[in-house]
């Protein structure tokens, strides 16, 4: 009936390439997880589709680039969205630039990441699964366009705790994907702080980040 080509199978969804009334489109279809109780599974799938669409929209309103959503089909749990042309993940970009020793490009990327996340948190959007794989890049090093994707675990919270945990999740994914990158991550944090206008809430967020880091460390207790 419709022509779709499997692009990629991730942990939770299959991505298909498709043509949506003349527009290049990606279909993200969340498949059933057989290991989960069916009630829990459909609850989570439903919740995540809604979160994904909502956060996507709210990010756009906050001036953050995201793929345009064309349509949602709750029957087969799929989201139809714009295909970002010639993207490279931030993960790949960092790997490539590190291999070339291009530290100025890396710093420029870190600046853009920090600014984008600051905008997102100013809009009280919590991404929930920040990794360098969930950031798509377009354009040249001095003029990078950064798209945020994969909002399935997102939520809307104003608290410093949630924003701090969001940064913590990124820090963990960042440091485990890119060895010896603490300095680059610090640049992201600095740019995040510089871009955040509400200085008081920004301080609270960074203090929470430090608290959550300690919590993780302290959790090595008995067992």
Partner 1 sequence: MVIAIGFEGSANKLGVGIVKDGVVLSNPRHTYITPPGQGFLPKDTAKHHRDHALDVLQAALEEAKIKPDEIDVICYTKGPGMGAPLVSTALVARTVAQLWKKPIIAVNHCIGHIEMGRLITGAVNPTVLYVSGGNTQVIAYSEKRYRIFGETIDIAVGNCLDRFARVLKLSNDPSPGYNIEQLAKKGKRFLEMPYVVKGMDVSFSGLLSYIEEKAPLLLETNEYTPEDLCFSLQETVFAMLIEITERAMAHCGSQEVLIVGGVGCNKRLQDMMDIMVKERGATLYATDERFCIDNGAMIAQAGWEMFKTGLVTPLQETTCTQRYRTDEVEVTWRD
- Footprint (CB under 8 A) of partner 1, residues 69-128: 128
Q: Which is nearer to partner 1, 80 or 168 (CB)?
A: 168
Nearest one of 79, 73, 63, 105 to 25, comparing CA atoms: 79
**13 makes contact with partner 1 (CB under 8 A):** no
Catalytic residues: 129
Neighbour tally for 114: CB within 10 Å: 21
**Between 103-122 and 90-100, two packed helices, what is the crossing angle to 10 degrees?**
150
**44 makes contact with partner 1 (CB under 8 A):** yes
- Which residue of 3, 85, 143, 220 would you call a contact of partner 1, by CB under 8 A? 220
Nearest one of 208, 180, 205 to 195, comparing CA atoms: 205
**11 makes contact with partner 1 (CB under 8 A):** yes
Query: Which positions from 15 to 34 touch partner 1 by CB under 8 A, shown as an x/- string?
Result: ------------------xx
Distance from first CA to last CA of the chain, Å, rounded? Answer: 55
Neighbour tally for 39: CB within 10 Å: 8
Using the contact rule CB under 8 A, the part of the chain among 19-27, 116-124, 176-184, 185-193 near partner 1 is 176-184
Q: Which is nearer to partner 1, 15 or 108 (CB)?
A: 15
Using the contact rule CB under 8 A, the part of the chain among 15-23, 38-46, 55-63, 198-206 near partner 1 is 38-46
Residues 6+ apart with CB under 8 A from 97: 103, 105, 106, 109
- What's the token pair of residue 49? 């589709």
Q: Are 25 and 123 in contact (CB under 8 A)?
A: no
Using the contact rule CB under 8 A, the part of the chain among 37-45, 68-76, 101-109, 117-125 near partner 1 is 37-45
Nearest one of 129, 137, 95 to 113, comparing CA atoms: 137
**14 makes contact with partner 1 (CB under 8 A):** no
| Least Cβ distance, residue 62 to partner 1 (angstroms) | 21
**40 makes contact with partner 1 (CB under 8 A):** yes
| Least Cβ distance, residue 13 to partner 1 (angstroms) | 11
Residues 6+ apart with CB under 8 A from 4: 16, 17, 18, 27
Contacting positions for partner 1 (CB under 8 A)? 10-11, 33-37, 39-40, 43-44, 128-131, 133, 153, 165-166, 168-170, 172-173, 176-177, 179, 212, 215-223
């Amino acid at each position: 009936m419709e022509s779709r080509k499997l692009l990629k199978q991730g942990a939770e969804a299959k991505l298909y390439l498709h043509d949506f009334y003349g527009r290049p489109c990606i279909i993200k279809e969340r498949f059933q997880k057989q290991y989960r109780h069916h009630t829990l599974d459909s609850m989570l799938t439903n919740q995540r589709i809604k979160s994904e669409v909502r956060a996507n929209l709210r990010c756009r309103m906050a001036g953050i680039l995201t793929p345009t959503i064309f349509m949602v089909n709750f029957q087969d749990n799929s989201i139809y969205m714009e295909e970002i042309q010639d993207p490279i993940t931030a993960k790949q970009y960092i790997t490539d630039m590190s291999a070339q020793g291009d530290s100025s490009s890396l710093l420029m990327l870190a600046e853009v990441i920090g600014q984008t996340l600051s905008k997102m948190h100013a809009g009280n959007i919590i991404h929930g699964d920040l990794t360098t794989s969930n950031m798509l890049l377009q354009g040249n090093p001095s003029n990078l366009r950064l798209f945020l994707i994969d909002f399935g675990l997102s939520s809307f919270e104003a608290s410093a705790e949630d924003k701090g945990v969001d940064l913590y999740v990124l820090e963990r994914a960042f440091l485990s994907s890119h060895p010896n990158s603490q300095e680059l991550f610090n640049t992201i944090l600095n740019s995040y702080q510089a871009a955040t206008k509400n200085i008081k809430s920004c301080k609270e967020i960074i203090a929470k980040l430090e608290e959550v880091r300690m919590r993780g460390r302290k959790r090595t207790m008995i067992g």
